[in-house]
Structure 1
Amino acid sequence: MRGKNNRYVILLDQDNGNAELARQQVSAVSRPDVANVYGDIYGANNSGFNASFALNGSLADAIANGHRIQAIIRYTSSNDGNSDYNDHWFDGVVLNQNVANMEKLQVSQAGIHVSGWHAADQALDRQYHYVILFDATTKKEISRQRVTLINRGDVERAYNNVYNSGKSGFSADFVMNDALRAALQNGDSIQVISRYTDDKNGDGNRVDYWFTPQAYNQNQAYLEDFSIYNGQLRVTGWHASDQSVVEPNQWIILLDSQTGREVARSKAITTKRNDVLAAYPNILNADNSGFVANFDIANTPGLRAAILAGHSLKAVARYSDDNGGEGHRSDYWFSAVQTPYSTQSAQELESFTINGNQIEASGWYADGRSVAAKAMYVILYDATTNRELGRQQIATADRERPDIASSNSSIANAGVSGFKASFAINNGSIMQALKNGDRLQVVARYTDDDQNGEGNYVQHFFDAQSFQSNNAYLDAFRVNSDGSIQVSGWHASNQTAGRPYHYVILYDATAGREITRKVAENVQRPDVQKAYPSVYNSLNSGFNINFASSATIQRAISEGHNLQVIDRYSATKDDNGDYVDYWFAPRQLAQ
């Protein structure tokens, strides 16, 4: 510009009444490119300028406060640049670039580690750098930490026009405090704030960069095995949950699907699962998400009860901060209903009979639910009076039935399903049941009570059986040469149990009256026992009686009356009360 050979670059604060912030006299810089475009303008060839201003004083304050900075290029004839000048006012610029990057945000049981960089023009005059953890869900600060800036040449190369980009790195470690633990347990979103401030406590005038909040509420799981092996229910799979970093105890809980009640819980063994980490890299602690839990069925009452009741089960995978599995916790409820045992059953009563003074029952009962049983019992039941007569525990060694295991391979424990039990007839209630002719029944029971056979159980009632029997035969019924009558034969009946008094009665069927009776001594009859082995006391069922001649006997014979023999077992000595009779066919006897 003719006559104005001095040049100044002046900076103004547009937001403070265009107050001058700084000026600098500059030399002309050759710009042939400008001359080529504006060749008709005087001095275009030397119109360039270049000025650098120190970031201090009022200039630094204006930038720090986010004010618009306006540059003026001035041509003047005066040496101080304050008179005889021509100005060009460039548009105002706010120097407020604020860029950052979070390179690592790592959560562990110890706390949170963060690292990255933050470059901001307005960091000027804000010499304190803080990193702050913020709960974006509750809008509350968790913790803050003053950090030392780290040299970052890579950031400077990418953002050389941003103040302090060459020393913008940060790294901070936050220990696990109550607020951080609560935020993670609640699945809150956690946000990192990088702050430059002029206050040594981290408040005051500041410029912040709020990184994107990170929610820690992911919860995924998969059940891989739910099976019974050798009396153990084994549950395996994986459970990946963000909350696991603050709830380190891994539990598997079993629920009864029918009642909705918990039946068992086990502290799981945690296993390494790199496959889960590969599938869910964003879930905290996913590489340590595997679990193995074993439940000893025999020693877990609730589980025993559920299985013996034939109920299905559901599993819950839990992380907890409590050694008992309660406290703060994160659950995953598996939707699938599990029945890890067979509900099949099969059975057969192979023998149910009287042998001498014993009632014997033998057979087998296979039931998949027996995996939860501690013992097997056989119960003798009176189906007529609906009451138990006796029970007997069957030793495991006496239950071996390889034939049943072969024919019923799909039923657990079928190979130990056999039983053989004996009940003494001289037991008062059993004798009374036989005496009454009640129907008897065998019940096979699997139970978790190996002391008394009660508790939780599954059982099978075999068909009730009648033990009523009354068999007899008259071997001899004749008149002896001396006029006496000889009677012999046998009478076997289950109803003789409890009736120890044996009588033989001579009866005049024509006149309808008794002639005489005698106490009979039981005579052994091996032949009868062989023919009727399942009839009570059949071995001692024989009798041999001589009725001495009398006027009544002689008159009945001479008049051709039909005489009849009655064999009686009675509960009383007078034999007229509680008894069981066998009436042989009437006969006419010749003198």
Structure 2
Amino acid sequence: MLLKTKMVTSSSTQTVTFTRTDKVYQDDTKKNTTGTWTAAPANQDTKLEVPAMQVPAQKGYVSQVDGKYTNEIAALALSADDLDKALKQGKTGSITEKDVTVTYIPSTKKQTITPEDDKDKAKVYDNSKKADDPANQQAVWKAVTRKINIVNIQGDDPTVITQTVWYNRTVTVTTTIDASGQEPPAYSTSAWQLADGQKAVWDEYPVPQIPGFTSLIGNKPQIIIPAQNVDVNTPDTPVNVTFYNDADDPVNSDVNLGLQGNWGYLDVQPHVDGHNGTIYVKGWNATNESRKRNYHYIFVLDYGPNADPWGDTRNMQFHEVGRVLVQNEQSRPDVKAVHNVWNAGRSGFEVNVPINMAGVNPGDHLAIMMRWTSDPDGNPSTVENNVSVKGSADLYSNLFSIDYGTNVGSLDSMQVAKNKLHVSGWHASNAALGNRSHHFLILWDNNLGHEVQRIEVKDSVARPDVANVYPGLLNAAHSGYSADFSLHGLDLSHSFTVISRYSDSATGEGSNIDYWSEPKNLIGNQSEANQAHLDSVNISQSGNVHVSSWHATDVANSLETHQYLILWDATAGKQVGAMAIDTNARPDVKRALPYFNSDKYGFDGTFTNVQLEAGHHYDLVSRFSTSNDAKGNGDDGVSAYTDYWFNDAIVMSKNQQANHIDSVAKDAQGNLVINGWMAADYSQAYKNAYILVMNNATGREVTRQKIDNLTSRSDVAKAMSGIYNSGQSGISNFTFKLNADQQKALKGNSFYFILRFSDDENGEGHYVHPLLLPKLQL
């Protein structure tokens, strides 16, 4: 009997065989009998069922059988009647197919939710819940909030000002389905980042003032809530603003509103606070004109360098360089005792006024202005009503000055790092203010006695340590610099000075204030010498130039640690070969030159695929560089290097040639059998090798013959390594054919050979040949 199971992606047939034994009699008197259905022995089970079947596993998927998560197709129970009915269909019956649907579903699903996907901010972090709360794990947005609750003096609901800074992130939800169908999600997130268009700050908020009342925050008089920098971990912050009825204020309960005047005093000379780039001002200011003018500002005014020290600052020309709101007025019962006017009992102030440094030029005179106004921004009010008075009540101090003479700095470090000359230090001076807004660093080569580079510093480095020592310099806290000079063109064995310059010119060549650092030598007390010697040059193999020598310089020990060799065609004015090499030990150099600090100054290398040209002069350059480019020549346009030039290391001269006849014999046909060698620098250009036989008696040529292939001669290469291609100079058993007339001409007469390289196929044209070879006689 058969049972078939279907799958979505393929069809699989599950076959189970059941049998029974029936007895059928031919004798009609006997009754036929039907046996009992049993499973065939191969099924290893006696049950009348189609056994359970394991669903084939698919990597990365879980299975469903007829919509339920399982990895097994359940057994199908059968009855004897089922099998009887099947059998009636024929001698071998089959049960109608039962379809079982198996579905594979990915076991892992990922969904990424970006801020763009959640524009409506549906998934917002709940600060009241823990970070591992499922809702917070899915949060795409986070609000950092300050709520300002302003009490209504009439008893109505408070006014709520909400300041929110939004952060967002990307959330990835990974769902893994197990065999039972459970889908526990896992969350991964990117780091929180400030949302587009947001600033990481709660803005300053001026508390709206009510005439006859004083605003309080934390039970202290305060009329402005300062700005506050925030980050994603800043907790939500409530600020509660209440009001105090001035009628109940003992400070103003007995004032004489009839007193006319504006009184004030600076308790200490205003001075620079270099930690904050501010001017510290401490004093008091009291006047009945401060009534209905709840905002008390302190200004720093600049009168320029030519102001009259004894002039009336109210009537002299000035420009503002800083202002600050007095937020916490100080108790001054001493002032109230003398000037019993409005708010005199708390007319004291102690503030740091932020200074616009671009507005203060060296030598300028300054003054303090104290102002009462109903304008929240500190300007004279333009509104007149029951809560505001037009104009302002201003009081001016005498002129004062700050220290423009101190000019200090330091070069903290100078070192080669990341193939740059890195410098760091600081330079502070009040003479660097105003128009001197361009900060330059100039590299001065003390050996050459002139500038070699300059760069403009765009970003200063915080230096609170400098402000601790020089608190009277406005730019002290941000006087640091950290910058990189290019190494290209620098001789690192030289001494350098860094000039820090503040200038009013974009080029650094205007009105300047300079600080010269102490000279700095990058190689310390090591020798500045640069010495070398060329031991050998071998050009005996065409296409290769082998060199061996030494080059000693201490700058290579710690700075320019990468060595290169360069072959320079001085005639053509171009590089024809370059390679990076490893230095090797030369203890002989160390013994001869003990002032060098290393013995690894030797080099040995071969230029390959080099085409030397006849008549050209070649220089060899040994270079130590800060560049580490194995495919370059040590000069990448940004690196420093030290060269030693071996001039005329190779001269491809017409006079550079040699030859020799090792033996001459006569074969049975009367021909000459010649062995020897011939080499010349100009064989590079004159590629036709000829032997000429000359009659000594007449001085005339008898005959000539071309040598098509010169053979290898390692002995000649060794002895004549300075001659081009001398390793391929051999004349080996060369048969010089002579006809009968030529043999007759030579018989009994002496002769000699000329070994010639020519640019002509016939051996004429331009040619070179060395001294005439010895006379021979057959």
Stretch of structure 1 that moved more, 142-151 or 183-192: 142-151
Q: How does 1:51-90 map to 2 (within 5 A)?
A: none
**Cα distance between partner residues in 2 of 1:200 and 1:218:** 44
Q: Please, which of 539, 547, 568 is the counterpart of residue 354 of structure 1?
A: 539
Q: Please, which of 303, 324, 332 is the counterpart of residue 152 of structure 1?
A: 332
Deviation of 1:380 after TM superposition, in Å, equals 2.5
For 1:283, what is the secondary structure of its paired residue? coil
Residue number in structure 2 paired with 1:19: none
Residue number in structure 1 paired with 2:468: 277
Residue number in structure 1 paired with 2:618: 440
**Cα distance between partner residues in 2 of 1:497 and 1:137:** 83
Read off the aligned partner of 2:301 and give its amino acid letter. D
Residue number in structure 2 paired with 1:542: 731
**Cα distance between partner residues in 2 of 1:541 and 1:479:** 19
**Cα distance between partner residues in 1 of 2:767 and 2:443:** 58
Residue number in structure 2 paired with 1:36: none
Residue number in structure 1 paired with 2:82: none
Deviation of 1:315 after TM superposition, in Å, equals 3.1
Q: How does 1:355-394 map to 2 (within 5 A)?
A: 355-357=540-542, 358-365=544-551, 377-383=564-570, 385-388=571-574, 390-394=576-580
Residue number in structure 1 paired with 2:203: none
**Cα distance between partner residues in 1 of 2:455 and 2:756:** 60
Residue number in structure 1 paired with 2:768: 580
- Tell me, which stretches of 5 or more residues in structure 1 are unaligned? 1-53, 66-95
**Cα distance between partner residues in 2 of 1:420 and 1:173:** 73
Deviation of 1:564 after TM superposition, in Å, equals 1.1
Q: CA 1:194 to 1:101, structure 2 compared with 1: closer, same or farther past 3 Å?
A: farther
Q: Please, which of 308, 314, 318 is the counterpart of residue 498 of structure 2?
A: 314
Please list the CA deviations of residues 391-437 of structure 1 after superposition, one character each: whole Å capped at 9, or x if unmatched: 22315xx3466869978898899968846241435x3xx1x32xx4x
**Cα distance between partner residues in 2 of 1:511 and 1:542:** 26
- The answer as to 2:281 corresponding to 1:114 is yes
Please list the CA deviations of residues 266-318 of structure 1 after superposition, one character each: whole Å capped at 9, or x if unmatched: 745423316x634x3422464x35636252x6xx4xx5245589795633266
Structure with max Cα Rg:
1
- The answer as to 2:525 corresponding to 1:334 is no
- The answer as to 2:327 corresponding to 1:135 is no
Q: Is the 8 A contact 2:549 2:604 kept in 1?
A: yes
Stretch of structure 1 that moved more, 456-465 or 480-489: 480-489
- The answer as to 2:648 corresponding to 1:464 is yes
Q: CA 1:464 to 1:265, structure 2 compared with 1: closer, same or farther past 3 Å?
A: farther
Residue number in structure 1 paired with 2:367: 191
TM-score (norm 1): 0.60
Q: CA 1:213 to 1:260, structure 2 compared with 1: closer, same or farther past 3 Å?
A: farther
Q: CA 1:364 to 1:109, structure 2 compared with 1: closer, same or farther past 3 Å?
A: same
**Cα distance between partner residues in 2 of 1:127 and 1:571:** 108
Read off the aligned partner of 2:532 and give its amino acid letter. Q
Read off the aligned partner of 2:662 and give its amino acid letter. D
For 2:752, what is the secondary structure of its paired residue? strand
Going by fraction, where is helix more abundant, 1 or 2?
1
Q: Is the 8 A contact 1:219 1:241 kept in 2?
A: yes
Read off the aligned partner of 2:699 and give its amino acid letter. G
**Cα distance between partner residues in 2 of 1:443 and 1:203:** 78
**Cα distance between partner residues in 1 of 2:299 and 2:461:** 33
Q: How does 1:185-334 map to 2 (within 5 A)?
A: 188-193=364-369, 210-215=397-402, 217=404, 220-230=407-417, 231-242=419-430, 253-255=441-443, 258=450, 262-263=454-455, 265=457, 267-273=459-465, 277-278=468-469, 280-284=470-474, 286=476, 288=477, 291=480, 293-295=482-484, 300=486, 303-306=487-490, 314-316=498-500, 332-334=513-515
**Cα distance between partner residues in 1 of 2:465 and 2:281:** 25
Q: Is the 8 A contact 1:236 1:293 kept in 2?
A: yes
**Cα distance between partner residues in 2 of 1:575 and 1:55:** 126
**Cα distance between partner residues in 2 of 1:147 and 1:543:** 107
TM-score (norm 2): 0.47
Q: Is the 8 A contact 1:218 1:283 kept in 2?
A: no
For 1:511, what is the secondary structure of its paired residue? coil
Q: RMSD of aligned C-alpha atoms? A: 5.4
Q: Please, which of 698, 713, 733 is the counterpart of residue 511 of structure 1?
A: 698
Please list the CA deviations of residues 333-353 of structure 1 after superposition, one character each: whole Å capped at 9, or x if unmatched: 223585654664333323222
Q: CA 1:182 to 1:513, structure 2 compared with 1: closer, same or farther past 3 Å?
A: closer
**Cα distance between partner residues in 2 of 1:250 and 1:580:** 68
**Cα distance between partner residues in 1 of 2:415 and 2:586:** 21
Please list the CA deviations of residues 160-199 of structure 1 after superposition, one character each: whole Å capped at 9, or x if unmatched: 7x5449847421658759xx565447774332245899x9
Q: How does 1:472-551 map to 2 (within 5 A)?
A: 472-477=659-664, 485-520=672-707, 522-535=710-723, 536-544=725-733, 545-548=735-738, 550-551=740-741
- The answer as to 2:741 corresponding to 1:565 is no
Deviation of 1:375 after TM superposition, in Å, equals 7.2
Q: CA 1:576 to 1:527, structure 2 compared with 1: closer, same or farther past 3 Å?
A: same
Q: Is the 8 A contact 1:567 1:582 kept in 2?
A: yes
Q: Is the 8 A contact 1:444 1:459 kept in 2?
A: yes
Deviation of 1:111 after TM superposition, in Å, equals 6.3
Deviation of 1:511 after TM superposition, in Å, equals 0.8
Q: Is the 8 A contact 2:551 2:602 kept in 1?
A: yes
**Cα distance between partner residues in 1 of 2:365 and 2:606:** 68
Residue number in structure 2 paired with 1:34: none
Percent of pairs with identical residues: 18
